[in-house]
Structures are given as structure tokens and as C-alpha cells.
Amino acid sequence: MKTFNVPEFYRSPLISKVKQFRKTQDPRKKDNSPTVLDFGAVKYYVARHFGFCYGVENAIEIAFKALEENPNKQLFLLSEMIHNPEVNKDLTERGVRFLQDTHGRELISFDVLTPDDIVMIPAFGAPLQLLELLEKRGIKTEAYNTTCPFVERVWKKSEQIGKTKHTIIIHGKYTHEETRSTFSRSAEDSEAVIVVRDLEETKKLADYILGKKTQQEFEQEFPGKFSLGFNINGHFNKIGVINQTTMLATETQEIAEFLKAVMIKKFGEEKIAEHFADTRDTLCYATNENQDATYGLLETDADLAIVIGGYNSSNTSHLVELCERKFPTYFISSEKEIENQNTIHHFDYKNKKHLTTQNFLPKKDVVKIIITSGASCPDSLLDTIIHRINSFFENLLPEEQVLNELKVN
């Protein structure tokens, strides 16, 4: 796989050696067991896969290339390039400005843009309407388009099944930048599009597919989530499921399997190929690997889990969701959230609020900690968090010795 020119300050002396150890020990990526960093009084179980993915490294390389090649021009990002505050802060400190927030609300008017300005497209892509606005202002976005190739793969699948008149069902968060971008293309490529957030919402959709509810009820139950002119009587004859690439892969598969069963109920097993498109190849490899590695963490007998990433990061929130099934889990953005050995500030992603927990580190001879991070989180943040926690313990083994004794749990 291609390697990218990512700034060295995002790399990590400690974590890079962990990743290299696993690459050598498990080159085929068959083992999802965590790597053990055993410092004596504190032991870390590091996920098999975590941190920057292909799409994020690609985006960072392009963004820093834009800064290097355009020292005397105004540089803008359509919105946050990725959902990580440290990376976005690095870019803004170098002069990059955001035109919109993550919900598409205007921060800087498009009216100030000139053809000489540079506008970068974030890794999530951009809705076609916004690209058309930029084009009308004479701004070319091709050179610094950081859209993830795996997001583009979803768009191609959408286009493919749209041509065969399948209605596109997107598993995603309908306010998320990636889903908004995918929705705009799907609406152009197909006759009808709708977004479902989860399996529960999909089950509600089944009533309309099977003709149990009315068009009026549909419009009231799914406001703002379907394309113009959506007709439940005509647009549920052929369907295909694609996803926001950062959603839980298992849930996307669950949704697809559920909807396939609904279509079998409606049209019969022998005709299912005519009415349901196979779209399994839209799942992102990095999302799959990070989630599979988190399932590997659940096999560990640990005291707590720490998950690092941006609080608006979809893929990170799903890792938190998985860890919470077994461990007290703390979702933090950096080492600054760890106030001292007793106090940690963390984020409740379900209720979108910040929490403070006391005595988060148990009083034990050996404290065992799960640690992982989202796909937009620099490895350097894991280093600083491990060093921060280590500072609360005495008589730890030297880091060099720990790295020489790496093992798989």
C-alpha cells in the first residue's frame, strides 16, 4: 500500500515501534489480539489496528502540500478536513480557514472567494451543489481534493446501482459531511434516496416497503432524509444499501440482511436478485480493521478502556460504543483531559456532553488499560497519553526494555 508524506510530529517513537512489531509478527493481519506494553505497575493493551488510515494520511499529505505550494495565497478548507481537533488546529495555525462547520453552516461567506484562492475539499468529500458554487466563482478544486478513495468507491457503487433504477438506502448519520456528500451524488445517479441511522430506523422503513403505512406518514417519520419526489409506492421495488464508511460495519451488514429479508417477503426468494442489489464491497477496510481489532480488545481482562479521537468523529464513537460493552470507557481527545491520577474529563458521545470522573484509575498492584484511537487520530497522541498515565506510577520498567519485550496478549 502507498506510503504518504505525513509530518513527523504526527508520528510516535513508542507507537511506531508497536506497529512495526505487529507488522513483522503478523504480516497477513490475521491476529486481532492486542499488543502488550508491560511497564510493571501499569500494563497497556494496544489495539491491533488503530490511528491514521489510508484516507486520512492521503488528506494530510495533500493539505500540507497545498500549504507548501501556495505560500502567498489564501487557503480555505470547505469544512474540517478530518474529525480531529489537533490536526485541524495545526492547519488553522498555518493560515488555513474553514468556510463551513461540520454541519454545513457558513463560517465565511463564499462571496469573499476569488479565482486566485485555494479551496481544499475535505476527506469526507463535498455535496455537488457546493462544488458547483465554487466552480461558478472560478475556483478549481481538483488539485487539492482530499476526498478519501474509499468514500469515492461508495459513490461509484451508488452510481452503478442507480443506473439500474435501484433506490439507494444510505446507512449513515444524515447530518454528517460524508453522508451529505454521498446523498447529493446518489440523488443525481438514482431515482430515489433515503438515509437510515440504524437498524431500529430501518425496521420502521420496512412498514413502508411492505405497504403498511402511507406516504403522509413516511414524510412525517423521515423528514429531511429522503430525496425530492420520493414515492413509497414506486420507489421500493428495487433497493440497494450503501453506507457512510465510518459506521459500524456489522450494523451495515445487519441492515442489508434485514432489508433483503423484507424484499424476499415482498417479492419472493426466486426474484430477489431483481429487487435487491449486493453492495457489500462499500465497507471501508480501515473501519473494518479498527472495529475487528476492538472486538479483539474485548477478549482482554482489563480494568478500563481509553479511546482517543475527535469528539465529532463517527468512527471513533463506534470504537467507544464497542468498548463500553465490557469496560468502563473514557473517550478523550488528548492527554490534557487527564487532570491527575484521580480525575479524567471525557466525552459522552450518546448525550453529546462532557463528563468528569473521579478515581478512574483503580487502586491495584497492576492496572490494566485498553487503549485505541480513531482513524483520524495521530499516533503521537497515544504516546503523550501513555506518558501522562505513566507519570502517576513509580518504579516503572524503562521504555526501552518494554519495547524489547513486546508480546501479543
Let me know whether 205 and 255 are in one domain: yes
CATH of the domain at 225: 3.40.1010.20
Catalytic residue among 57, 80, 178, 337: 178
Residue 143 lies in a domain: no
Domain shared by 357 and 382, yes or no: yes
Q: Do the domain assignments include residue 157?
A: yes
Report the number of distinct structural domains present in the chain. 3
Q: Residues 86, 107: one domain?
A: yes
State which residues form the domain around 393. Answer: 8-53+286-408
Tell me: do 196 and 249 sit in the same domain: yes
Does the pTM exceed 0.85? yes
Contact residues for 354 (Cβ-Cβ < 8 A; gap 6+): 345, 346, 347, 348
**DSSP symbol at 336:** G
Sequential DSSP letters for 201-241: HHHHHHHHHTT-S-HHHHHHHSTTSB-TT--TTTTTSSEEE
307 and 403 assigned to the same domain: yes
Residue 100, domain member (yes or no): yes
How many other C-beta atoms lie within 10 A of the C-beta of residue 106? 9
**What is the per-residue pLDDT across 37-81, written as a single tens digit (0 to 9) for each?**
999 999 999 999 999 989 999 999 999 999 999 999 999 999 998
For the stretch 284-334, pLDDT in tens is 888 889 999 999 999 999 999 999 999 999 899 999 999 999 999 999 999
What single string gives the DSSP state of each residue in 114-169? -TTSEEEBPTT---HHHHHHHHHTT---STTB---HHHHHHHHHHHHHHHTTPEEE
Determine, yes or no, domain membership for 203: yes
Look up 178 and say whether it is catalytic: yes
Give the pLDDT confidence score for residue 5 in this predicted structure. Answer: 84
Domain boundary among 101, 136, 171: 136
Mutual angle of helices 54-69 and 85-93, in 10-degree steps: 10
Instruction: Establish if 110 belongs to a structural domain.
Output: yes
Distance between CA atoms of residues 100 and 109, nearest Å: 9
Q: Same structural domain for residues 26 and 70?
A: no
Give the Cβ contact number of residue 213 at 10 Å: 17
Q: Are residues 378 and 290 in the same domain?
A: yes
Same domain, yes or no, for 77 and 167?
no
Edge-to-edge strand ranges of the sheet holding 75-77: 97-98, 75-77, 118-120
Instruction: Please indicate, yes or no, if residue 277 is contained in any of the structural domains.
Output: yes
Based on the domain organization, do 267 and 208 belong to the same domain? yes
Domain presence at residue 145:
no
201 and 184, same domain (yes or no): yes
The share of the chain scoring above pLDDT 70, in percent, equals: 99
Q: Which amino acid is at 288?
A: N
pLDDT tens per residue across span 120-130: 999 999 999 99
In a domain, 200, yes or no: yes
User: Which of 78, 113, 136 is at the close of a domain?
Assistant: 136
CATH number at residue 73: 3.40.50.11270
Q: Domain ends where: 283, 306, 335?
A: 283
The amino acid at residue 309 is G
Mean pLDDT of the chain: 94
